């Protein structure tokens, strides 16, 4: 989890209240933040990954001010229209297609403020931005830029500028191969014949995202009073969320926020949008989850203590635009529990006595893990939420998927129906690592099943997927791994040739045991590999673990 160090003096100024060291420590801990230490004027805390809005002195101070009661309720920010434009060219569509931008004026920078800006940018890159894979941030002194700004892709040898803190002009290719930051993050542009750049009306390059800013047009100094901010990546909603965190942080520094018009090839957007979202809250649900008896007045007070605003008439909560973690009513329950104080919730002994024991399927899964790790495979863990395109389109499939209503991110808009696509995405994000790459995952998959007796009509099963990637990998090698696994499980099975559009025709089979299909195995097609940005060959298999477990259990019982 990311750790930040902030000024105690600055933090107390944000809170608007004098507090002793012990009191400050106590409030930070009660807010659900890990307190790491206090040394002279420096306060060090560890921030949970779901709260990127706290990754700055201003964000932390804003949350604490609400919590201690000096500035309760929803913070309101004014966004003025700058009339400035950012033109997004179609050339970035398949490289890094999205950006969200803003201008902040009336800033007064000193060494401390610049350090704070650098810290939140770096921490957002590492956590919320996932080491710049999901989001890359650029902050530029507006006095060196002529509007409008253009976001386009150019060939590496057409890109020439002096990278930040460099002593010479370099081409795009030289930055990737010679500059320290280029060497570290160059893999994010691997496989592309063009690189994205931001360029102003004077044809001056501002940056080459997600790598580095220009030293001439991208270095903020104490003389800077106005900045241009851009977030680039793959999901516009994520870009806007990141931008909202940055501009509200700068507004709390005294800045004035101005929007920009984004001209995409097929649409127009205006960012930032700091209008709060409205979400319904169910008091009965909150009381049931927390085991307390709040009334509506208490609910309102608790929500205001956490920086929300409650509308009693509509039973809705106004959620600040920088709170990216509020996705479901359970998130309100968590915040209300923090505001109420977990130490104030009475301890109650459960009325039902139970005896705990290990789940049989999990014991079986652990056995599989031991076998595969013994064969040199590395286990990975991915989210059960996945990208609809990865699960279907990118794999040449047309699955009926369990979709997430009102999803806040395109990369997490469905429940995965199989695991191989998520492993291909894992390989895609680790192309810069050494080969061979042999990984597996055991986890849940979800399918619409109208016959199921569950409330949601969704059937959940456990699946095992395994992929191998190297220059010399083929069907024979992965078939050997599967045979060894089935032999270790004492399970007789046969392979029958089949057609599966994610695999190469003639190099794919279905695994049959006891007249039931339990798995698919084969070599991934070049088209699918290309969709995931992969160059190395990949072979894979996926087994329905729930089905195999039940087969073996019935066999042993009989």
Is pLDDT above 90 for 351?
A: no
Do 379 and 338 fall within a single domain? no
Q: Is residue 73 part of a domain?
A: no
How many alpha carbons fall within 13 Å on the CB side of residue 497? 4
Q: Is residue 348 part of a domain?
A: no
Q: Considering Cα of 165, then 167, then 172, then 175, what sign does the dihedral take?
A: negative
- pLDDT value of position 493: 84
Q: Is residue 350 part of a domain?
A: no
pLDDT interval class at 169 (50, 70, 90): very high
Model confidence pLDDT, tens digit, residues 75-101: 999 999 999 999 999 999 989 999 999
- Residue at which a domain ends, from 239, 271, 303: 271
Do 437 and 311 fall within a single domain? no
- Residue at which a domain ends, from 248, 271, 294: 271
Q: How far apart are CA 170 and CA 173, in angstroms?
A: 8
* Residue 193 structural domain: 79-271
pLDDT interval class at 453 (50, 70, 90): low
Do 417 and 509 fall within a single domain? yes
- pLDDT value of position 325: 92
pLDDT interval class at 429 (50, 70, 90): confident
Model confidence pLDDT, tens digit, residues 475-495: 999 999 999 998 888 888 888
Do 37 and 127 fall within a single domain? no
- pLDDT value of position 491: 85
- pLDDT value of position 408: 65
Question: 263 has which bridge partners?
Answer: 87, 268
Q: What is the torsion angle, in degrees rounded to the nearest 10, for the CA atoms of residue 276, residue 279, residue 282 and residue 286?
A: -60
Model confidence pLDDT, tens digit, residues 205-240: 999 999 999 999 999 999 999 999 999 999 899 999
Of residues 359 and 259, the one with the higher pLDDT is: 259
- pLDDT value of position 359: 85
Beta sheet of 516-524, edge-to-edge order: 378-379, 437-448, 458-469, 538-544, 516-524, 503-513, 494-497
| CATH number for the domain that contains residue 262 | 3.50.40.10
Model confidence pLDDT, tens digit, residues 156-165: 999 999 999 8
* Burial bucket for residue 105 (CB in 10 Å: 0-12, 13-18, 19+): middle
Number of domains in the chain: 4
Q: Is residue 373 part of a domain?
A: yes
Q: Is residue 124 part of a domain?
A: yes
Q: Is residue 481 part of a domain?
A: yes
Q: What percent of the chain has pLDDT over 70?
A: 98
pLDDT interval class at 310 (50, 70, 90): very high
Cα dist from 418 to 29, 424, 463, 466, whole Å: 40, 11, 7, 11
| CATH number for the domain that contains residue 41 | 3.30.56.10
Helix, strand, coil percent content, the chain, rounded in steps of 5: 35, 30, 35
| CATH number for the domain that contains residue 383 | 3.30.930.10
pLDDT interval class at 309 (50, 70, 90): very high
Q: Which residue has the tokens 């800006």?
A: 117
Do 296 and 264 fall within a single domain? no
- pLDDT value of position 433: 86
Do 297 and 404 fall within a single domain? no
Do 155 and 263 fall within a single domain? yes
Q: Is residue 518 part of a domain?
A: yes
Q: Which residue has the tokens 């220009």?
A: 214
Do 374 and 304 fall within a single domain? no
Do 159 and 289 fall within a single domain? no
Q: Is residue 523 part of a domain?
A: yes
pLDDT interval class at 258 (50, 70, 90): very high
Cis before residue 272, ω within 30 degrees of 0?
A: yes
Do 428 and 538 fall within a single domain? yes
SS3 for 545?
helix
pLDDT interval class at 136 (50, 70, 90): very high
Model confidence pLDDT, tens digit, residues 458-479: 888 999 999 999 998 999 999 9
Do 155 and 258 fall within a single domain? yes
Least confident of 40-49, 200-209, 332-341, 444-453: 444-453
Do 546 and 442 fall within a single domain? yes
- Residue at which a domain ends, from 20, 37, 68: 68
pLDDT interval class at 356 (50, 70, 90): confident
DSSP classification of residue 436: P
For the record, the structure tokens of 113 come out as 């403020």
pTM of the model: 0.77
Model confidence pLDDT, tens digit, residues 9-36: 999 999 998 999 999 999 999 999 999 9
């Amino acid at each position: 989890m990311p750790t930040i160090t902030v000024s105690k003096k600055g933090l107390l100024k944000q809170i608007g209240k004098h507090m002793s060291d012990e009191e400050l420590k106590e409030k930070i801990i009660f807010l659900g933040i890990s307190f790491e230490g206090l040394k002279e004027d420096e306060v060090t805390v560890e921030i949970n990954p779901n709260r990127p809005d706290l990754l700055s002195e201003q964000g932390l101070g804003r949350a604490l001010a609400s919590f201690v009661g000096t500035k309760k309720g929803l913070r309101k920010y004014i966004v003025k229209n700058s009339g400035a434009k950012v033109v997004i060219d179609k050339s970035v569509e398949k490289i890094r297609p999205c950006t969200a931008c803003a201008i902040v004026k009336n800033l007064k920078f000193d060494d401390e403020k610049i350090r704070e800006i650098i810290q939140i940018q770096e921490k957002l890159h590492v956590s919320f931005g996932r080491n710049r894979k999901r989001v890359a941030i650029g902050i530029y002194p507006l006095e060196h830029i002529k509007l409008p700004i253009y976001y386009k892709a150019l060939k590496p040898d057409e890109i020439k500028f002096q990278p930040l803190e460099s002593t010479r002009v370099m081409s795009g290719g030289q930055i990737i191969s010679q500059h320290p930051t280029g060497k570290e993050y160059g893999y994010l542009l691997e496989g592309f014949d063009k690189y994205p750049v931001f360029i102003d009306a004077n044809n001056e390059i501002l940056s080459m995202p997600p790598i580095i800013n220009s030293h001439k047009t991208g270095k903020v100094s104490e003389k800077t009073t106005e900045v241009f901010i851009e977030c680039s990546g793959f999901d516009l909603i994520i870009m806007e969320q990141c931008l909202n965190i940055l501009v509200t942080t700068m507004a709390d520094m005294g800045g004035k926020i101005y929007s920009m018009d984004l001209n995409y090839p097929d649409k127009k957007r205006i960012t930032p949008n700091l209008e709060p979202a409205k979400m319904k809250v169910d008091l009965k649900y909150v009381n049931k989850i927390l085991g307390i008896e709040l009334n509506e007045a208490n609910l309102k007070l608790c929500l205001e203590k956490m920086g929300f605003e409650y509308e009693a008439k509509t039973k809705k909560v106004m959620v600040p635009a920088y709170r990216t973690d509020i996705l479901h009513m359970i998130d309100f329950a968590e915040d209300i529990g923090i505001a109420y104080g977990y130490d104030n919730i009475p301890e109650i002994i459960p009325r039902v006595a139970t005896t705990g024991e290990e789940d049989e399927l999990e014991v079986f899964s652990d056995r599989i893990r031991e076998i595969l790790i013994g064969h040199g495979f590395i286990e990975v863990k991915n989210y059960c939420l996945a990208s609809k395109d990865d699960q279907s389109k990118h794999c040449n499939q047309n699955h009926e998927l369990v979709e997430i209503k009102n999803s806040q991110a395109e990369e997490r808009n469905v429940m995965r129906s199989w695991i191989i696509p998520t492993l291909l995405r894992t390989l895609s994000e680790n192309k810069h690592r050494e080969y061979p790459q042999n990984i597996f995952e055991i986890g849940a998959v979800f399918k619409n099943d109208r016959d199921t007796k569950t409330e949601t009509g969704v059937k959940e099963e456990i699946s095992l997927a395994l992929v191998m990637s190297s220059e010399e990998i083929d069907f024979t090698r992965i078939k050997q791994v599967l045979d060894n696994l089935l032999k270790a499980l004492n399970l007789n099975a046969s392979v029958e040739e089949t057609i599966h559009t994610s695999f190469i025709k003639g190099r794919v089979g279905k695994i049959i045991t006891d007249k039931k299909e339990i798995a698919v195995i084969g070599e991934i097609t070049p088209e699918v590999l290309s969709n995931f940005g992969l160059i190395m060959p990949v072979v894979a298999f996926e087994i329905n673990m729930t089905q195999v477990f039940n087969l073996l259990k019935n066999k042993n019982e009989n």
